[in-house]
């Protein structure tokens, strides 16, 4: 299993980690199977998203802010309830088929890490490739 550790620089941001996941698949030595990508944080997410138009990433963050605004009143004791809600909506893991040592992605698909409670000095993503 590969562990990625990295900082984030904004309160909310989307990071394309497709290249790192592809490299993890190649270095695993597994030709065919499943790649699982997971983050253990309750205020971040892993998800598939369109990877060509950066403006669409901003649109997604704006839509999530309408669903769970940062300045709304929440019952949660902390000041990051909106981050928890955004994370739960987006999910914290994905599974991707692996064929010929490559993750199978659609033409416009990318694998993204979503930060909803940053900036943080260290976030983690686990990548596990399982032979099938």
Domain locations in the chain?
2-131
Q: What pLDDT, on a 0 to 100 scale, did the predictor assign at position 8?
A: 98
Q: What mean pLDDT value characterizes the chain?
A: 97
- What integer pLDDT is reported at residue 38 of this predicted model? 98
- Split at pLDDT 50, 70, 90, the class of 62 is very high
- pLDDT-derived band at 107 (thresholds 50, 70, 90) equals very high
Give the pLDDT of residue 64. 98
Domain boundaries 2-131, CATH class: mainly beta
Q: What pTM was estimated for this model as a whole?
A: 0.96
Q: What is the DSSP string of 45-85?
A: EEEEEE-S-HHHHHHHHHHHHHHS-TTS--SSSSS-HHHHH
* Phi, psi at 108, each rounded to 5°: -110, 10
């Amino acid at each position: 299993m590969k562990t990625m550790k990295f900082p984030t620089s904004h309160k909310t941001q989307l990071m394309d980690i497709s290249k790192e996941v592809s490299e993890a698949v190649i270095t695993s030595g597994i030709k065919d199977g499943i790649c699982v990508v997971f983050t253990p944080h309750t205020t971040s997410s892993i998800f598939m998203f369109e990877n060509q138009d950066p403006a669409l990433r901003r649109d997604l963050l704006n839509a999530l802010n309408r669903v769970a605004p940062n300045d709304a009143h929440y019952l949660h004791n902390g000041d990051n309830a909106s981050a928890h809600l955004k994370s739960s909506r987006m999910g914290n893991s994905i599974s991707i088929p692996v064929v010929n040592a490559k993750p199978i992605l659609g033409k416009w698909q990318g694998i993204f890490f979503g930060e909803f409670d940053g900036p943080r000095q260290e976030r983690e993503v686990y990548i596990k490739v399982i032979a099938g």
